[in-house]
Amino acid sequence: MKERVTLTLGSELLGEVDRRVDGLKIKNRSHAVELLLMQALGNHMPKTALILAGGRGVRLQPITHELPKPLLPLHDKPLLQHILDLFRKYGIKNIVLSVGYKGDKIKETFGNGKRLGMSISYVEEDKPLGTAGPLRLARQFLTQAFIACNADELKDIDLADMYMTHKENGATATVALTTVEDPSAYGVARLQGNRILEFVEKPKKEKAPSNLINAGLYMMEPEILDYIPEGFAMLEKDVFPRLAAQGKLFGYPFSGQWFDTGTLERYERAIKEWKDLE
């Protein structure tokens, strides 16, 4: 939530502020002041990340008959721990896990996060809530800008740069976008500059609007919760189209590692090619 304040500044200082306004990345004087204060205070990152860890992992059966997908082993530690490593690298230590299928096993493995130097809280999906429903469930934790991400993808993203881009754009949501050779199995972004106009779901390769796909990690403002209907809801179908229509949805293309582990074939590739974060 933002509050209106009144500032009295010298004309020379105000001129410095106004010179940063370009009408595109920095939209107005108020936006410029906000960004300058963020930089001065070292507030370059959200404090909280929500990880969607409630899926059944049907495409990874029979392995997931025994283990929930976030606990699949990869390089001698659970898949989910690699995601936590990314957040810890950027000083994000308040984690909310949305759990459902075999959630007790996830809780037993990670507990309150203390052994990782983190604070982990849980929300429980009594029934599947999709990719958007858990955000409403975790509303009490999401009172400031936050990160949301899927638990079944490995990512190496410059989160600090992504967050500054998110703020510069004045976005309600910013979607991390990765490049794939064949985007036909994914949601593909159609962009105007860095503004997302729409996602085209699973297009034929030759008809895809780009090779940039949703990488399953998002920077979000709390106002996004007002766009999510009650119960089962999907970011991709129920939320992002509305934000895109209002010019509030942006993309952040990145070139770091990204692996989808949602099938046995992709999981095997990730085991072979993923390079652990330092």
Residue 5 lies in a domain: no
Indicate whether 122 and 220 sit together in one domain.
yes
Read off the CATH number of the domain in which 178 is found.
3.90.550.10
Indicate whether 184 and 158 sit together in one domain.
yes
Residue 2 lies in a domain: no
- Condensed to tens digits (0 to 9), the pLDDT of residues 114-144 reads 999 999 999 999 998 999 999 999 999 999 9
Choice among 80-84, 140-144, 197-201 with the minimum mean pLDDT? 197-201
Q: What is the pLDDT of residue 71?
A: 94
Indicate whether 114 and 57 sit together in one domain.
yes
72's tokens: 């699949």
Q: How many domains in the chain?
A: 2
Q: pLDDT averaged over the chain? A: 89
Catalytic site residue 248? Answer: no
Write down the catalytic residue from 93, 202, 205, 207. 202
Indicate whether 80 and 21 sit together in one domain.
no
Indicate whether 96 and 218 sit together in one domain.
yes
Distance CA 242, CA 210 (A): 21
Residue 68 lies in a domain: yes
Residues linked to residue 201 through DSSP beta bridges, in sequence order: 187
Indicate whether 73 and 26 sit together in one domain.
no
Indicate whether 27 and 110 sit together in one domain.
no
- Condensed to tens digits (0 to 9), the pLDDT of residues 25-59 reads 566 787 777 767 666 655 678 999 999 998 887 88
Single-letter amino acid code for the residue at 189? A
Residue 23 has pLDDT above 70, yes or no: no
List the domain range (segments joined by +) for residue 22: 11-40
pTM to 2 decimal places: 0.84
Indicate whether 51 and 101 sit together in one domain.
yes
Residue 70 lies in a domain: yes
Indicate whether 229 and 162 sit together in one domain.
yes
Indicate whether 199 and 180 sit together in one domain.
yes
